[in-house]
Structure 1
Amino acid sequence: MTALDTYSLRLIKLYRIRKAAFRNDMDSLLQKFDEQVSNIVEHRRTISLEGLPIFVRDDETKLFLTCLETDPVERATRGVTVGILTVLEDYVGPNSQSTVVNTAIVLEEDIILDDLPDLPTAFAYLFGLLYGLNMEFPKELKYTFEAVQHIFMELTSTCSQRIRSFKTKLLTKV
């Protein structure tokens, strides 16, 4: 979390600078962040992680999954190799945001860890599991996990050109 906190402001600034280069996903993500008025540090961490796959051009929909609490979990986890599932409250009144009921880690279509306090914690556990179990990063999320491994965790000295470029932008342009 300390490494994420160190880079989160820079990440968000970089996302804002480059948001036109991405689909509307980055813009809606930043708009969601701008609407937050409480627990800014947690929201900053969450937006930093949710924006990372978008920025490195991985498929964020393969990593961050959502479902309603009345939906069958099997439907949400079907076909998921690696992911973080956020379960939202079913009923949301007018002009209010969905309440997170549960955050869970999915590996090989099964929930292996749930009742996690927030998305950044779930992401840290997920990365730790992948790294500790020596699992290969999913192809559609390769650069996201490589960025975490190389930039945030400083576990490797070599990385792909895409992540090297991302690190240079992160450290120099913001």
Structure 2
Amino acid sequence: MADVSAADRRRSLMILVFAAVGFVALLISGLGIVGLVLDTAVIVEPGMTQLPGVLGTVFAILGFAAVTYPALARRASVGMALLAGIAAAVGYVVGVALGALISGVDPLRALGVAGGIAVSWPTPVIVVAGVISAAIALAVVRAGPGGARWPWERPEHDEE
């Protein structure tokens, strides 16, 4: 039984890696497309380096993974995906604030930038990217190692 548990953990970890890559792809493309449509940048504060955005993305991945992996290991319901999206958004805001502080910006300006992101358009984009990625990962785990199958794909003995 311990081998099955270890195998499930390894499978959950592998699915988490793929989900995290998908999350990053959705995050970057979503922020880019919405920023293009709105004709604005995610961080509009002049004089900022790229560090706040990079650290925000890293912290968003960590927040996403911190909620998604335990949900995958427990085979939780797909409803946990909302928590993963929220954790990713909170991680992004914290990462931007920390990145701004590390890059030498005044602490009040750093908090202002992070607060602006928290109450503006990037937050829903991050949440949606996290929800989509986590929901797909949870659906894959809940489908089991054989994956989901249509009725006509099942072996003959399953119909009895």
With structure 1 as the length reference, what TM-score do the two structures score? 0.27
**Greater relative CO, 1 or 2 (CA 8 Å, sep 6+):** 2
More strand by share: 1
With structure 2 as the length reference, what TM-score do the two structures score? 0.29
- The structure with the largest alpha-carbon Rg is 2
